[in-house]
């Protein structure tokens, strides 16, 4: 490692992401032979193969996987040194990566994007729906900002206080859950209580990388459980199915309010006591002093909270 070429680190980062010499070469505007030569230098430096060839491309070795987060952090720190201390959004071409839960799109983008497009017409947002690996991407600084659902109810494992210490957060808005059923559903002729709620089968939407929700934890404490007929990962499809069946769909209230105009659905309160949850804007503390990052998160916070 005495003569290590630090210019090879960006190549290793790209290879870890693409897991293909061809794709890495295209992304770095290099020839495949140049990438192969640099990869051989990396192998000599780290005394490890780093990648194994398979029928589906390159597979990182355990050593390469271990190096990945450290390399991303080093490159991110180097990048921060070259960023200007003053930020002019009207001249910026910066590209930000955001990951957010499905139900947050309609609550946030219509509020802050018009201002962003006016103030920073050349900035690009790469938006991705939050999934099981999104938290790790935030912790590696691979994602600039995240918007996720968390709970204030002390009974939940997804409590706000259980977030990793490396992350900063601001509460954008609180929300509660409600039940959706089709118009003409037979339960509308019955007394609405917990017994009626559990009498019918349910439609569950798994989103945000979380498959187990506060409602089910609360019911389990009472030795009760819902009868889940089907699990989906898309709320729009779930609402279509809810409209065409006797299944009950539990949904965040603010998202349901936006979407219900498209479906013949009736809303009912959840028939058990729960503390409203929250949508949080999340970022790694590494970005605290980044002026462009601060500008974007303040724009989102001010627009959504107002």
* 120 assigned to some structural domain: yes
What is the pLDDT, as a whole number, of residue 27? Answer: 84
Q: Which residues pair with 205 in a beta bridge?
A: 232
Range name among 59-68, 163-172, 267-276 with the lowest pLDDT average = 59-68
Q: What is the mean pLDDT of residues 248-273?
A: 93
In this structure, the answer to whether residues 162 and 283 fall within a common structural domain is yes
- Same-domain status, 122 and 255: no
More confident residue, 122 or 86: 122
Same domain, 185 and 256: yes
Judgement on whether residues 102 and 223 belong to the same structural domain of the protein: no
pLDDT band at 81 (very low <50, low <70, confident <90, very high): low
DSSP string for residues in 132-156: TTHHHHHHTT-SSEEEEEEB--TT-
Q: Same domain for 151 and 108? A: yes
Measured from the Cβ of residue 40, the count of other Cβ atoms closer than 10 Å reads 11
Residues 236 and 260 grouped into a single domain: yes
CA distance 60 to 96: 26
Contact 297, 170 (CB under 8 A): yes
Over range 221-225, report the average pLDDT.
Answer: 92
Residue 132 resides in a domain = yes
Nearest of 244, 217, 220 to residue 230 by alpha carbon = 244
For residues 182 and 234, state if they share a domain: yes
Domain check: are 69 and 101 in the same one? no
Q: Does the structure show a pLDDT above 90 at 173?
A: yes
Spatial contact of 287 and 171, defined as CB atoms under 8 Å apart: no
- H helices of 120-225, where? 134-139, 194-199, 214-221
Q: What is the mean pLDDT of the chain?
A: 89
Top mean pLDDT of 43-47, 138-142, 150-154, 277-281 is at 277-281
pLDDT of residue 306: 81
CA distances from 57 to 18, 33, 34, 63, 209 (A): 9, 16, 17, 18, 27
* DSSP summary character for residue 103: G
Environment class of 301 (CB within 10 Å of its CB; exposed 0-12, middle 13-18, buried 19+): middle
Domain that holds residue 26: 6-82
- pLDDT at position 228: 94
Of 61, 19, 299, 35, give the one whose Cα is nearest residue 170.
Answer: 299
Q: Quick one: 158 and 287 in the same domain?
A: yes
Structural domains of the chain, count: 3
Claim to verify: residue 140 and residue 269 sit in the same structural domain: no
């Amino acid at each position: 490692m005495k003569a290590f070429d630090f210019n090879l680190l960006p190549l290793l980062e790209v290879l870890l992401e693409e897991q293909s010499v061809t794709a890495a070469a295209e992304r770095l505007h290099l020839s495949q032979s140049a990438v192969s030569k640099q990869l051989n230098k990396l192998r000599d430096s780290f005394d490890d193969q780093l990648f194994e060839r398979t029928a589906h491309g390159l597979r990182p070795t355990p050593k390469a996987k271990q190096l990945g987060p450290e390399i991303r952090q080093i490159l991110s720190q180097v990048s921060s040194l070259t960023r200007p201390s003053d930020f002019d959004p009207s001249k910026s071409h910066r590209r930000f990566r955001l990951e957010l839960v499905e139900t947050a799109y309609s609550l946030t983008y219509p509020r802050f994007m018009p201002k962003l497009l006016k103030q920073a017409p050349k900035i690009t947002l790469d938006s991705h729906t939050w999934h099981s690996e999104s938290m790790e991407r935030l912790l590696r600084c691979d994602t600039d900002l995240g918007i996720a659902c968390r709970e204030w109810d002390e009974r939940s494992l997804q409590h706000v206080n259980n977030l990793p210490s490396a992350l900063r957060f601001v509460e954008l808005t609180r929300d509660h859950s409600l039940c959706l059923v089709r118009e003409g559903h037979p339960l509308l002729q019955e007394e609405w209580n917990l017994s009626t709620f559990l009498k019918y089968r349910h439609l569950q939407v798994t989103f945000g990388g979380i498959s187990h929700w506060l409602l089910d934890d609360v019911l389990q404490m009472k030795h009760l459980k819902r009868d889940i007929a089907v699990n989906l990962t898309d709320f729009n499809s779930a609402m279509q199915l809810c409209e065409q069946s006797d299944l009950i769909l539990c949904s965040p209230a603010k998202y349901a309010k936006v979407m219900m105009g498209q479906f013949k659905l009736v809303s009912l309160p959840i028939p058990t006591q729960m503390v409203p949850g929250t949508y949080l804007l999340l970022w790694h503390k590494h970005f605290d002093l980044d002026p462009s990052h601060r500008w974007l998160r303040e724009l989102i916070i001010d627009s959504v909270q107002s």
